[in-house]
C-alpha cells in the first residue's frame, strides 16, 4: 500500500513545526521551572471529578510561539456541554524574552452535533475535538497573571503563578 503524497501545505507545516521546536523547548523548560504541571494538577483536585479533566500539554506558533499546561471543565447538567472553561498556565515568546500567563477562557461547543455517550468518553482525553480550540493563551482581559519571566526570580514567580491559579 502506497503512502499518500504530501501536499505543499503539509510540507510547509512540517517545516514550521521543526523550526519551532527549539523555541518551544525553551518555553517548556520555563514551565518546568515553575512546576506548572504540578500546580495545574493541584487545581484539578479542587474541581468536581465528573466535569473536570486534564492536565494536558498544549503548544502552538501563532501569534508567537507558546506552550502551556491546561485543564478543562464543563458546567454541570445536561446542557453543560455547551460551554467549556479552559484553565491553565502558558509561556509565550515575546521577542527574546518569555511571558508567563495564568488565565482562563470559555469555549463554545463547536461540533456539528452532540452525542452524549461519545462526548463523555472523548472529552476526558482532550477538548479540541468538540470545541475547536488549540489551547492558546487567553486574551489579556481574561488573564489572572501576566509577567515577563526572569530566571533569577523563578521562586517568586512560581508562588505568584500558584496563587493566581488556585484563587
The CA-based angle 3-7-8, given to 5 degrees, is 145
Please indicate, yes or no, if residue 2 is contained in any of the structural domains.
Answer: no
Q: Phi and psi dihedrals of 111, rounded to 5?
A: -75, 155
Q: Is the pLDDT of residue 41 over 60?
A: yes
Please indicate, yes or no, if residue 160 is contained in any of the structural domains.
Answer: yes
Please indicate, yes or no, if residue 3 is contained in any of the structural domains.
Answer: no
Give the predicted TM-score (pTM) of the model: 0.86
Q: Is the pLDDT of residue 115 over 70?
A: yes
Please indicate, yes or no, if residue 1 is contained in any of the structural domains.
Answer: no
Rounded to an integer, what distance in angstroms lies between the CA atom of residue 33 and that of residue 18?
Answer: 24
pLDDT tens for residues 70-90?
A: 999 999 998 999 999 999 999
Predicted local confidence at residue 1, as pLDDT: 57
Split into its structural domains, the chain has a count of 1
In this prediction, residue 20 has a pLDDT band, given cuts at 50, 70 and 90, of low
Please indicate, yes or no, if residue 105 is contained in any of the structural domains.
Answer: yes
Q: Which domain holds residue 80?
A: 8-165
Amino acid at each position: 500500500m502506497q503512502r499518500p503524497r504530501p501536499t505543499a501545505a503539509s510540507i510547509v507545516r512540517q517545516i514550521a513545526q521543526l523550526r519551532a521546536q527549539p523555541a518551544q523547548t525553551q518555553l517548556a523548560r520555563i514551565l518546568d521551572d515553575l512546576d506548572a504541571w504540578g500546580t495545574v494538577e493541584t487545581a484539578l483536585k479542587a474541581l468536581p471529578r465528573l466535569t473536570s479533566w486534564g492536565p494536558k500539554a498544549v503548544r502552538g506558533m501563532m501569534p508567537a510561539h507558546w506552550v502551556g499546561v491546561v485543564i478543562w471543565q464543563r458546567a454541570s447538567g445536561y446542557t453543560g456541554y455547551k460551554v467549556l472553561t479552559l484553565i491553565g498556565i502558558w509561556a509565550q515568546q515575546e521577542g527574546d524574552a518569555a511571558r508567563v500567563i495564568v488565565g482562563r477562557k470559555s469555549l463554545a461547543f463547536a461540533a456539528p452535533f452532540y452525542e452524549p455517550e461519545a462526548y463523555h468518553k472523548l472529552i476526558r482525553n482532550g477538548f479540541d475535538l468538540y470545541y475547536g480550540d488549540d489551547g492558546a493563551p487567553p486574551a489579556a482581559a481574561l488573564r489572572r497573571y501576566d509577567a515577563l519571566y526572569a530566571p533569577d526570580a523563578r521562586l517568586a514567580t512560581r508562588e505568584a503563578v500558584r496563587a493566581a491559579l488556585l484563587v
